[in-house]
Amino acid sequence: MHYILFYEYSADYLERRDEYRDQHIALAKASIDRGEFFLGGAFAEPADGAAIVFKGASAKVAESFANADPYVISGLVTSWYVREWTTVAGKDAESPLVS
């Protein structure tokens, strides 16, 4: 299944993120290497949040990422939540209706 992790950023996110960026990227890379982290990035104009798509057996894969993320731990992320995403179209769809 696919899961989307949504982040909402603090008002000072852009000013403070550099201190935690290397740790955040290392966490993402480890998750990518395990085949969990599928696609992610920050929203632009305004840079007030982000979304990350995960693939896994349960939402725990996304929840575990958020709980370990230095952006969350440091307060750069003010809130987050995970949604299960039923993917039906595209080459990586979990339940393809279109081939």
Indicate the number of domains in the chain.
1
- What the block records as the tokens of 87 is 């993917």
Q: What is the pLDDT of residue 63?
A: 98
Show the DSSP H helices in the chain as ranges: 13-16, 18-33, 60-68, 70-73
Q: What CATH number is given to the structural domain containing 60?
A: 3.30.70.1060
pLDDT in tens, 69-90: 999 999 999 999 999 999 999 9
Residue with tokens 């969990």: 36
CA-derived radius of gyration, the chain: 14
pLDDT score for 99: 61
Q: Is residue 43 a part of any domain in this protein?
A: yes
pLDDT digits (tens, 9 = 90+) for 24-63: 999 999 999 999 999 999 999 999 999 999 999 999 999 9
The answer to whether residue 95 sits within a structural domain is: no
- Rounded Cα distance, 57 and 94, in Å: 11
Domain carrying residue 58: 2-85
pTM above 0.85, yes or no: yes
Helices 60-68 and 18-33 cross at an angle (nearest 10°) of 150
